[in-house]
Amino acid sequence: MKKIVTPQDMQEIDRRTIQDYKISGEVLMECAGAAVFGRIRVLFAEYTSKNIFVFCGKGNNGGDGFVIARYLKENGAAPKVFVTGSMEDVKMDARIHFNKLIAGGVQPIFISNGHDLGNEKPDIIVDALLGTGARGSLDGELLNLVEKINAWRNQQGCYVLSVDIPSGMNGETGRVENAAVKADATVTMGLPKSGLLFGDGKHYTGKLYVADIGFPDELTRGDKFVLIEKEDVRKLLKPRRHNAYKYDFGKVLIIAGSRGMSGAAFLAAKSALRIGAGLVKVAIPEGVAHVIEHALPEAMTLRLEETKEGSPAYRNRERLIDYMNWADVTAIGPGLSQHDETIQLIQEIVQQLKKPAVIDADAVTALAGKSELISSVASGMVFTPHIGEFAVLSNVVKEKIVLDRIDHLRHTSRKLNKTILLKGSPTLIAAADGRIHVCNTGNPGMATAGSGDVLTGIIAGLLAQQLPSEQAAFAGAYIHGLAGDVAKNKKTEMGLIASDIVDYLPEALMDIGA
C-alpha cells in the first residue's frame, strides 16, 4: 500500500530527502524522468516511430520533462520539446537537465517565440507543464496549451501522459478551476497525491501509476490513509492445496431478497461463489425462492415464511439464528425491503451474530440509530453503505458528509468499532480504528442496479475464506472495481450491467495473479 499525501506533505518529504539524506534534487529529477520514460516503453513498444511532443513548464515538473525527452532521444525516438516562458525562467535543477538535453542533440522550442502548433499532429503528448504546487485557474499561454492538448486528444486520438499530476488540477483537492489536461495516464512520483483520487481528480488523471524514484522508506511509510494496490490484494489470495475440499473455503449464508427484488439475492449469491466460497445457502422468501433454484443451481436455498408484502417474516427468527451459527459468514440485506416486520427481524438476528458478517442495503437502514447494538456485537462485521445509507447509519445529513467523507467515515467506524466500506468514487474503507483505505479501481458504468449486491457477495466470499474483515473489505472493493473495469472494456460504460461484473470476476482474479 502507498501512503496518500498532500502536495505539502510531498514537499516536506522532498526537502528532507535532499537535506537529511543528501540525495540531490538533480538526482531525484533524473529518476523521475527515467521512470516516466520506462512507462512510455511499456505502453508503446513502437515508441521510436511515434511523433512525441513533450510540453515543459519552467519549474521542476518541466525539468522532469527535459529528462524524459533526453531518454527518448538517447533510445532512438525524435521528441519535440516545447517550453513555456523564456530561457531565463528555467533555473536550478531544471536548468541542469535543460542543458543536458541540448547537449544530447535536442533543441527545445520556446512557445513564447511564436511557434505555430496549428498544423502539428502528435501521437503521444507528455504533459510536464505544471506540478503539484500550482494553484488556481489557468490563463494566457498555459490555458491555450492545455486547451490545445485536450483538443489533440479529443479530435485526433493522441495519447496524453501527465507527469506527477495533470496540469491545471489542484494536487490536494482534485479541483479544476477552469481547465486541466485530460490525461490517459499519469505517472506520479513517490507517493499518490490526494488530488489524483478525489474531486475531479480521477476524471482527469486516467490510469494512475506511482513511480519509486528513491525517496527513503523512513519518509514514505504510513498506514492511516493509504491507496490499495494490486500487490496488496494478491498477497491475500492464497493458492489452494491440491487436496482441498469445499468446506475449506467456507459456508456463506445470504439472507436476502423479497417479492420484486429476488435479483439482489441472486447477484450476491453468484458473486460469493465466483470469488471462491465453498458453499452458499440463500435464505429467501418462499414466494421467490424458485428464482435462485432455477437460475443458480450451485447455491442451496432456505425457504423463508413471508409477510403479506413478500418480505421475510419475523417468525423466521429462530431458524435464521440456527443457520447463522451453521454458516462461517452471514450476509444480510440485499433486497430485503424495509417492511416493519422485516426490520424487526434484522435487528434481532444481528444481535445474535457470533461470526463474521456483511451488513448491506436494507439491513444498514434497519440498524439506524442502533449504535449501542452494533458496537456490542463481537463478530467481525463489515458495513457496505452507499452515501444515503451511511447518512442514516451515522445520523449525519448527506450534504455534510459530501463535504468531508473521510472525516465522517473515520468518526463513525471508530464510534461503532466496525469496518465500514463507503461506496463512491473513490470507494473508502475504514477499519474499526479509523485507518482509511482508498480503492481506485472501478468506473462510472458500475453505477447500476445490483452492483452493490455483487460487492456484498464478494466480501462475504472472502470472509468465508478466512480473511479478516478489514482485508476482506478492501480486497473485495478492489476486485469488484477491477472486474467492473474489465466489463467496461468489453461492454462499454453505458452497456455495463451488474451481472457483467460477476461474469468478469475470474478475469479480474487472473489479472491480479490469484
Q: What is the full per-residue pLDDT of the chain (514 aa) written as tens digits?
A: 999 999 999 999 999 999 999 999 999 999 999 999 999 999 999 999 999 999 999 999 999 999 999 999 999 999 999 999 999 999 999 999 999 999 999 999 999 866 778 788 999 999 999 999 888 999 999 999 999 999 999 999 999 999 999 999 999 999 999 999 999 999 999 999 999 999 999 999 999 999 999 999 999 999 999 999 999 999 999 999 999 999 999 999 999 999 999 999 999 999 999 999 999 999 999 999 999 999 999 999 999 999 999 999 999 999 999 999 999 999 999 999 999 999 999 999 999 999 999 999 999 999 999 999 999 998 799 999 999 999 999 999 999 999 999 999 999 999 999 999 999 999 999 999 999 999 999 999 999 999 999 999 999 999 999 999 999 999 999 999 999 999 999 999 999 999 999 999 999 999 999 8
Place of cell 505517472: 187
Task: Round to whole Å and give the CA distance between 65 and 337.
Answer: 56
pLDDT of amino acid 378:
81
Q: How far is CA 48 from CA 75, 76, 80, 125, in A?
A: 8, 6, 13, 14
Task: Round to whole Å and give the CA distance between 153 and 483.
Answer: 27
Checking DSSP bridges between strand 225-227 and strand 300-304, what pairing results, if any? unpaired
For residue 255, what are the β-bridge partners? 283, 332
Length of the chain: 514
pLDDT of amino acid 114:
67
Burial of 126 (C-beta count, 10 Å sphere; 0-12/13-18/19+): buried
CA angle 117, 121, 127 (to 5 degrees): 70
All 3 cell numbers of residue 226?
Answer: 493509504
Give the full edge-to-edge strand order of the sheet including 251-255. 2-3, 225-227, 436-439, 427-430, 419-422, 381-383, 357-359, 329-332, 251-255, 279-285, 300-304
pLDDT of amino acid 280:
99
User: b or e along 317-336 (b: 16 or more beta carbons within 10 Å of the residue's beta carbon)?
Assistant: eeebbebbeebbbbbbbbbb
The answer to whether the CB of 181 falls within 8 A of the CB of 17 is: no
All 3 cell numbers of residue 18?
Answer: 535532499
Sign, CA dihedral 227-229-233-236, equals negative
DSSP code, position 176: B
State in Å, rounded, how far the first CA of the chain is from the last one.
18
Sign, CA dihedral 265-270-276-277, equals positive
Task: Round to whole Å and give the CA distance between 369 and 348.
Answer: 14
The separation between CA 216 and the C-alpha centre of its own chain, rounded to angstroms, equals 26
Q: Which CATH class is domain 2-221?
A: alpha beta
Residue of 96, 242, 240, 68 lying closest to 163 (CA atoms): 68
The answer to whether the CB of 219 falls within 8 A of the CB of 16 is: yes
Burial of 16 (C-beta count, 10 Å sphere; 0-12/13-18/19+): middle
DSSP per residue over 335-360, as a string? Answer: T----HHHHHHHHHHHTT--S-EEE-
All 3 cell numbers of residue 358?
Answer: 456483511
pLDDT of amino acid 234:
98
pLDDT of amino acid 113:
67
Place of cell 516511430: 49
Domain assignments of the chain as residue spans, ordered by start: 2-221, 234-512
Checking DSSP bridges between strand 2-3 and strand 225-227, what pairing results, if any? antiparallel
Task: Round to whole Å and give the CA distance between 131 and 57.
Answer: 9
The separation between CA 463 and the C-alpha centre of its own chain, rounded to angstroms, equals 20
Q: Rg of the Cα trace of the chain? A: 26
* CATH architecture for the domain at 234-512: 3-Layer(aba) Sandwich (3.40)
- Residue 279: half-sphere exposure toward Cβ, Cα within 13 Å: 12
| Dihedral of the alpha carbons of 130, 195, 205, 125, in degrees to the nearest 10 | 10
